[in-house]
Structure 1
Amino acid sequence: MTENKPTHTREEKRTAQKIDFKKMNGWKIAFLVLLAFILGTGVFLGTRIFSNREPDYHQSTKVTEKQGQEVTTISMNKSQLNALIDYYLTDFQKDSSVKYQFALENEAMLSGETKVLNFPVHFYLYFDPFVMENGNIQLQAKSMSIGTLGLPIEEVMKLVKRGYDFPKWIEVKPKDKSITLRLDQFQLPTGLFVKAKKINLIDDEIQVGLYLPERKD
């Protein structure tokens, strides 16, 4: 007498497959939920880091057209101007723990260190300088280097603006990707003031006019 082995009907097999399918789908759903949480957290942190904590209500200072008599035109090369810039920034940043550098080569370069996701990252911002009609200087950002990170120039300039102290006569405008040197707000101790006249970095020609202010009666 042979013993009958239990046999599985087609219906039982289908039920078993459905159970395994549900288990597999359960793991997939759990994995996707975890992945979505990680990505969502990263996007949230990135948004918080690259957005202003407070609305920027700062308005550009009204341009002051200084009146005066031109005393002389000062001509210099990049090396001479870089020495003046280095001397000024060293004195201006002497009490600051976070420092930046600015120099002129074939283009203007601003460099320093900032933090991205709490990690220190060295950056280089490159600008084309232009003399404005009022004698101020505008630096228009054209490229940058910040390690292997592909961040937009505007976002890097926001980090720079928040992280560094600049003289009051320097305006950093991330939206315009520019920095304006407000020479109309810069005055020498003697009361003399300057206006930019020419900047040609390729031919190494830089000229500024030195002015004697008008006397007020």
Structure 2
Amino acid sequence: MPKHKKKRNTWKCIFFWLLGFNVLVLLCILALIFWPVSETETPTPSEDNTQRSSEFTVRTSKQNVNELVNAYIETLLDDSDHQYSISLDKDVELIGELPVFSSTVPVSVHLEPVVQDNGDVILKQESISIGKLALPNKKIMEYLKKYLPMPEWVTVDPKNEEIYVAVTDMEIRSNLNVSVESFDLESNNLAFNIEIPYETLGIEKRYY
């Protein structure tokens, strides 16, 4: 075989190998994230952990997050007698039922999300109602804390009338670290930082 043809075939093999490898890595990342995405930015190395991971910013919509959150809540409430759900619209609304005497009454809490510098979110209570009962807001928040099961990384704070969502403390099977970049419900712009350790993909980053 002529040398120029042999050289061309070699470069062609290298090109297809690299293309296949990139496609495989991309599929692995998408499979690990399990997050509906509308836009993914170019990954950049994490400043504090460049030797072990890379960080991606994932942008999605409140509809996608709403579905994901309620699917998680359904699993959380499998063995519970009390039910609730979350609705993301102009704000965050928690809708459920609380036991009062021998019955239950509907409860609705409207919360304003405030993203913290560390990537967690504080849901500040804006309005709250529990059936036709006239109870202080703090007392209703105490009922929420007592009767509605919450993940370990979610804390109901009746004193400050808020709910602290420690997104950065979530335990994810794929060993991903998640933090909130933005949570703008009015413009439907929700962004999350996802840090992926190289060991999760079975690869090791080398520096020369």
Q: If the TM-score is normalised by the length of the shorter chain, which range does it land in?
A: 0.5 to 0.7
Could you tell me which residue of structure 2 aligns to residue 188 of structure 1? 172
Please name the residue that 1:87 is paired with: 71
- Return the TM-score normalized by structure 1: 0.64
Larger Rg: 1
Q: How does 1:107-118 map to 2 (within 5 A)?
A: 107-118=91-102
Instruction: Give the alignment of 1:163-178 within 5 angstroms.
Output: 163-178=147-162
Q: Partner letter of residue 181 of structure 2? A: K
Aligned AA (1:175)? K
Distance in 1 between residues matched to 2:164 and 2:194, nearest whole Å: 19
Residue 204 (structure 1) aligned with residue 204 (structure 2)? no
Provide the C-alpha distance between the structure 2 equivalents of 1:165 and 1:141, rounded to a whole number of angstroms.
18
Structure 1 residue 151, shift from structure 2 partner: 1.4
Tell me if structure 1 keeps the 8 A contact 2:76–2:149: no
Count of residue correspondences: 149
Distance 1:122 1:161 in 2: 15
Residues in 2 aligned to 1:121 and 1:109: alpha-carbon distance in whole angstroms: 16
Question: 3-state DSSP class of the match of 1:160?
Answer: helix
Look up the match of 1:144. 128
Please list the CA deviations of residues 131-168 of structure 1 after superposition, one character each: whole Å capped at 9, or x if unmatched: 00110010000101222222121100101111121110
Shift of 1:113: 0.8
When residues 117 and 91 of structure 1 are mapped into structure 2, their CA distance, relative to the original with a 3 A threshold, is: closer
Separation of aligned partners in 1, 2:69 and 2:184: 17
- What TM-score comes out, normalization by structure 2 length? 0.67
CA distance in 2, matches of 1:212, 1:135: 16
Q: Deviations over 1:25-56 (max 9, x none)?
A: xxxxxxxxxxxxxxxxxxxxxxxxxxxxxxxx
Offset from partner CA, 1:63-104 (integer Å, 9 cap, x none)? xxxx64442111111111111011111111112121111121
Rounded to whole Å, the distance in 2 between the matches of 1:146 and 1:199 is 27
User: Is 1:73–2:57 an aligned residue pair?
Assistant: yes
The answer to whether the aligner puts 1:135 opposite 2:112 as a matched pair is: no
Matched to 2:118, the amino acid is: N
- Equivalent AA in structure 1 for residue 105 of structure 2: V
For structure 2, list consecutive stretches of 5 or more residues without a partner in the other structure: 1-47, 200-208
Report the counterpart of residue 155 of structure 1 in structure 2.
139
Given the superposition, is the C-alpha separation of residues 157 and 206 from structure 1 closer, same or farther in structure 2, using an over 3 Å criterion? same
Note if contact 2:54-2:198 (Cα within 8 Å) is conserved in structure 1: no
Q: Is the 8 A contact 2:177 2:195 kept in 1?
A: yes
Task: Supply the distance in 1 between the matched residues of 2:155 and 2:195 (Cα, whole angstroms).
Answer: 23
CA distance in 2, matches of 1:187, 1:115: 30
SS of residue paired to 2:69: helix
Q: Secondary structure at the match of 2:140?
A: helix
Equivalences for residues 32-71 of structure 1 within 5 A: 68=49, 69-71=53-55
Gaps of 5+ in 1: 1-66
Q: Report deviation, 1:212.
A: 2.6
Distance in 1, Cα, partners of 2:164 & 2:54: 23
Aligned to 1:210, the other structure's residue is in SS state strand
User: Residues 213 and 153 from structure 1, CA distance in 2 versus in 1: closer, same or farther, beyond 3 angstroms?
Assistant: farther
CA RMSD of aligned residues (A): 1.7
